[in-house]
Structure 1
């Protein structure tokens, strides 16, 4: 069959070739589905609809993204975005590949080895890796030139070996160049034409523009983010139930990842933080190798990735089933700060403003319970050195080029995550030492602020509202649902805590 296809391509045009192949396939008893190294509507009809590149995101939306990026780029400028590189764990074993967010946002291609070029005159030009029999044998098929044109809707496409021949002419015709510095590759940075632009100080970081576009999510993107949040909430809820019987950090990390993947997540957004007792006061604790002692709290910061979009939430609870008086005192302060800051999430506000409000509220609370003897910022930062939140989207800390002072707009998703992290050696009443508490929610900014399902009034939209955070809710969950109830029979649980 491959010989027949090669002969056809040599004698007919590309459009005629497609027509004849379709005709040829119509005589086959089994429909031929071409593997391009990632899901397509043809290979995964239950996952993608016709016209979609990413589940829920059409090729038209990708084309519109490219147009918006071109509108931001100066005249006679060029943008280069390279795919993320493969990173090796050992000499022959790679880490799990994750695509660069900007490359994925513009192309929809989930695979390594490509370079995308965007310009006013050329549109989107994709240089694609070439299929080698050895690689196909060991790693499977990959997207090539045909996939770039047919699936990713590039205006032009070439094999990677043509880059050094074609790209220099594009660069010489450009007065300014923007590229993704995080994934820059010597494939193009060593070109003489590129170096000349560097010498003339005409090379800039493209993320200044791509982050502006990615900051405000489309309805299709928000749908994926809501699904990612829902998956993480369901997984964490089941993990909370699991914690009373299996109070081990490693087991809880494994449980939440299992539940996320069973619900369709491709991977975790980051290594789960599972800090029991004093480990919870280590903000990005990731060892997850201790048993949680009776009476200690456990802090779990988790998130999963669904088709390129991530979730991020944190809950803190006592696996034993009840908060001590000192734990509850601190928890209620963090919870009230979380609620008040969520109420501030509306268009025109900024993360910086919300953060400053949280600092004032926590400083006052810490003083009242004896954690702070003075109002100095250095003393406060020993208890909480983190920001109240961050942007969320294709990356966990999304759109880093967008300032925290930027007024929030509808379609932006942020986290609200007040916390307190008290080292065991901290000079404070002994009952508070070694306690770490964080309560983190995802909040979608809408036209009127945020959405409440309870009142049916558009006030806020907390994407992680389904996971309990009230003290009584958590204790009821652990003490009532965990007693004699299998995790498979909890269909009514979400309604109880919604």
Structure 2
């Protein structure tokens, strides 16, 4: 493939900068992200990113090319930098497709993949002032030596090179969500769009990302393990410090101390009626004695996220109404996990969950009128039973929930019920929100619950909070008070 690339670029009337073709022999000490040379504690020899080898990245590109139509060109831009204020950016997170194909965790690049030349990376031009303020970034040499691209050029030269590549292609596919003016403004691309040659690439990349490799599964297990350990410590703290913001902070602290780079999403910490707001994110209330707290949380480890939810009473005691509703959600959770196996789809599991929840809510008297049962049910639970999980929280959105599951696919199972105070039903259930969410890996013989270490049985939660939390919780409470004084 490398030879084909050289031959292809010789036909383009463009004088290549020195070092822009073939693998670089220069020793790269700092390329703007961890490497085996700079961070041996994170990246092993032969890996581009922690846990994922250069061979696997090359294999991903090869498999994507096999999926793409003949003579097509794939253009994938890095995620843009988003600004918090004029000069302060939000923490950068790479676009999952760009990361999946290149392993590059930095902004400013555009990757181009074609049958004739393999991977060509257009890299940002290093600005000496930016290097002073922000440190080194990956350039052309890193694209060749670290990310194993067949070809690499400064992005300032893209306007000379990419149009020729576009004109030689019968179809263009690009990541619509991260489309960059750097290539979208090229006349060759605008003309291709007008002729209907430009399509979204994500259907192809999501197909590849849907089934995880053994390396990806190892990272997802580790991400889930970190989240479970962090949530367990947070549950212990809740016994003596029932505050939404403090619990959110505790979870993030425990995740980061175990190696996670960031949260998978803003933690949901809903105490009492706030638990009935599905994506509640204010996390600014004290949790009243006798209320439940719902925590929907996850972390990201080297590009792979976790996502789990537990609901519990920080006091260590469920009311009878809380326990009855919790028992129903737990039963649905376990019954739906049993259905997680090759050949069944998320849609089929969801439909079964609706049947189970409607039956249980009717038995409790929460759903009464047969003529409006379905409408009222969806007011109390408008969510799906689950979603795909991987590099993004709602991963591979282009893959239908009707697709039969395969070994290597990871999904969530997350039944819930969300009853606001305004609900016209039995008063004892008003203001209660409960969700129990697990991550499930589909295997050849069935499934593996990779968040199974996190307690969800009522007796286990009670035992943890009442028999174990006393001394540990008080120590943690005193530590928190000392830190804030």
Deviations along 1:95-148, one digit per CA (max 9) or x if unpaired, are 000000000000000000000000001100000001111000111000000000
1:83 aligned residue (68, 78, 98): 78
User: What secondary structure, in the 3-state scheme, does the structure 1 residue paired with 2:74 have?
Assistant: strand
Label 1:187 to 1:60 Cα distance change in 2 as closer, same or farther (>3 A).
Answer: same
Aligned pair 1:412/2:399, yes or no?
A: no
1:426-448 CA-partner distances (Å, limit 9, x unpaired): 01111000000000000000001
Distance 1:15 1:228, change over 3 A: closer
List gaps (5 residues or longer) in structure 2.
Answer: 1-16, 477-485
| Number of the residue aligned with 2:468 | 481
Once residues 136 and 433 of structure 1 are traced to their aligned partners in structure 2, the CA distance between those partners, rounded to angstroms, is 56
Pairwise CA RMSD of aligned residues? Answer: 1.7
* CA distance in 1 between partners of 2:301 and 2:158 (Å): 32
Give the match for residue 472 of structure 1: 459
Structure 1 residue corresponding to 2:331, chosen from 323, 328, 336: 336
Of 290, 309, 317, which residue of structure 2 is paired with 1:295? 290
Aligned to 1:6: none
Greater alpha carbon shift after TM alignment, 372-381 vs 155-164: 372-381
* Higher relative contact order (Cα pairs below 8 Å, separated by 6+ residues): 2
Q: Pick closer, same or farther for the CA change 1:288–1:14 going to 2, 3 Å.
A: closer
1:238–1:487 CA contact under 8 A, matched in 2:
no
Kept in 1, the 8 Å contact 2:23–2:150? The answer is no
Moved more, 479-488 or 143-152: 479-488
Q: 1:463 aligns with which of 444, 447, 450?
A: 450
- Counterparts in 2 of 1:360 and 1:188: CA distance versus 1, 3 Å: same
Q: Which runs of 5+ in 1 are unaligned?
A: 1-9, 23-32, 451-460, 490-498
Deviation by residue 1:314-359 (Cα, 9 ceiling, x = unmatched): 0000000110000000000000000000000000000000000000
Query: How many residues get paired?
Result: 458
Q: Which residue is 1:165 aligned to?
A: 160
CA shift, 1:374, in A, is 2.9
Tell me if the contact between 1:367 and 1:374 (Cα under 8 Å) persists in the aligned partners: no
What is the aligned partner in structure 2 of residue 224 from structure 1?
219
- TM-score of the pair, normalised by structure 1: 0.90
Deviation string, structure 1 residues 58-105 (Cα, Å, up to 9, x no partner):
000000000000000011100000000000000111000000000000
Deviation at 1:13, TM superposition (A): 11
Question: 1:379 corresponds to which residue?
Answer: 376
Distance 1:309 1:176, change over 3 A: same
2:177 aligned with 1:177: no
Structure 1 residues 411 and 298, CA, compared in 2 at 3 Å: closer, same or farther?
Answer: same
CA–CA distance in 2 between the matches of 1:142 and 1:203? 31
Question: How far off its partner does 1:17 sit?
Answer: 8.2
Does structure 1 conserve the Cα–Cα contact (< 8 Å) formed by 2:240 and 2:474?
no
* 1:364 corresponds to: 359
CA deviation after TM superposition for structure 1 residue 46, in Å: 1.4
Which residue of the partner structure matches residue 391 of structure 1? 388
